[in-house]
Amino acid sequence: MESLVNRHTLENFYKGKRVFVTGHTGFKGAWLITWLHMLGAEIKGYALLPETEESIYNIISPNVHHESIIADIRNKEKLKKEIARFNPDFIFHLAAQALVRRSYILPSETFEVNVIGTANLLESLMYIKHKCTTIIITTDKVYENKEKPIAYKETDRLGGHDPYSASKACTELVAQSFSKSFFSAGTYKEHQKIIATARAGNVIGGGDWSTDRIVPDIVKHLRANDKIPVRNPNSVRPWQHVLEPLGGYLLAGGLLKDHSKLSRSYNFGPGVKDHLTVKQLVNIAINCWGKGEWQNTSDKAQPHEAGILKLDVTLALKNLKWRPKLNSKLAVKWTIDWYKQEKNNLYEFTLQQIKNYQAI
């Protein structure tokens, strides 16, 4: 099946369109605005400052034409004003407290950012007077995890053991509530708003330097010639390269604009048989780097993290004609290839990976 995530299709959707991106200074957000820039979109971002000096946003932002608003998603009036001024055709909501282990340290803040921040964004849609399609990015961790080797479908029960997962499940409920209460399909001609949520798997890719994430840990220790600490070597995750879900978000946004009946939640992840354990991912990364070792640092006293997590992407394949292009091994290779580049080549290499992905 030919993928619709290609240059021709996406340019038809986004060239000359106004696209508002929350969380544009983050890892996924920076890749997204780079892609939108290539597609000829007019971009406005709303986010906090990047957390690290080596952030991919700091690398790409001088080359990506966009307006950048540095502000907190919890500031409702500021957010409403900036969205109203821009009058977007599309909104991609990526801004979040996105780390499981940090959510144990900052549980209340995690709920504030992820739940109230999303409600603030959706309330702002009421002040836009023309067509606008909004994609709310949540996570694969929104499901009530039964710790069984099953692939979760969009109709499975929501849950969440840790504050991060629970806050994202709440985000899904907030999106459903706004969609049914204010932007229902039955009154679409009046409000012209479409809301969908996207549940992505464990995303990897160049430029991620977040704390307590496996790929940044791998790269930092490989560069230092130290053993890589691995907390949960046997945990299974739906690993995917960052361009996989971003392509899904862009495709969903473009298709839903003219097909409101497709508006709902969608999983974006690898094929059902293409899920790796943490130790498999680490070993592939070491092979791609050319050297390295890892050590098991599991600790029973550490905060709970899911042991098995798989996604069923049948719905995205059926409704959106989306499919994963890179298997897990290629996703790791593309990721490590990015980190092996010289700093002055990173922007061009990022562009090239997007071009290569579109061409597959």
Collapsing DSSP to helix, strand or coil, 206 comes out as: coil
Q: In the prediction, which pLDDT does 68 show?
A: 98
pLDDT-based confidence at residue 30 (cuts at 50, 70, 90): very high
Q: In the prediction, which pLDDT does 1 show?
A: 63
Dihedral of alpha carbons 121, 122, 128, 131, sign: positive
DSSP state string for 311-331? E--HHIIIII-----S-HHHH
pLDDT at 7 over 80: yes
* Range list of β-strands (E), the chain: 18-22, 42-47, 67-70, 90-93, 132-137, 151-152, 193-200, 202-204, 228-230, 236-237, 239-241, 265-268, 276-277, 294-296, 310-311
* pLDDT tens per residue, range 209-219: 988 788 999 99
pLDDT-based confidence at residue 145 (cuts at 50, 70, 90): confident
Instruction: Give yes or no for a contact between 104 and 156, defined as CB atoms under 8 angstroms apart.
Output: no
pLDDT-based confidence at residue 52 (cuts at 50, 70, 90): confident
Q: In the prediction, which pLDDT does 240 show?
A: 94
The residue-averaged pLDDT of 111-128 equals 96
Which range has the worst mean pLDDT, 24-28, 40-44, 111-115, 307-311? 307-311
pLDDT-based confidence at residue 27 (cuts at 50, 70, 90): very high
* pLDDT tens per residue, range 250-297: 999 999 877 767 788 999 999 877 888 899 999 999 999 999 999 998
Residue linked to tokens 């369109």 = 17
pLDDT-based confidence at residue 306 (cuts at 50, 70, 90): low
Higher pLDDT, 57 or 188: 57
Q: In the prediction, which pLDDT does 298 show?
A: 76
Burial class (CB in 10 A: 0-12, 13-18, 19+), 99: middle
Residue 248: both structure tokens together:
């899904």
Q: In the prediction, which pLDDT does 325 show?
A: 96
Question: Which amino acid is residue 178, in one-letter code?
Answer: F
pLDDT at 232 over 90: no
In the chain, % of residues over pLDDT 70: 97
Which CATH class, in words, describes the domain spanning 7-203+240-270+312-329? alpha beta
The residue-averaged pLDDT of 120-148 equals 92
Q: In the prediction, which pLDDT does 149 show?
A: 79
Looking at every residue in the chain, the average pLDDT score rounds to: 92
CA atoms of 12 and 265, how far apart (whole Å): 23
Q: In the prediction, which pLDDT does 217 show?
A: 92
pLDDT at 305 over 60: no
pLDDT-based confidence at residue 46 (cuts at 50, 70, 90): very high
Instruction: Give yes or no for a contact between 25 and 47, defined as CB atoms under 8 angstroms apart.
Output: yes
pTM metric for this prediction: 0.95
DSSP state of 45: E
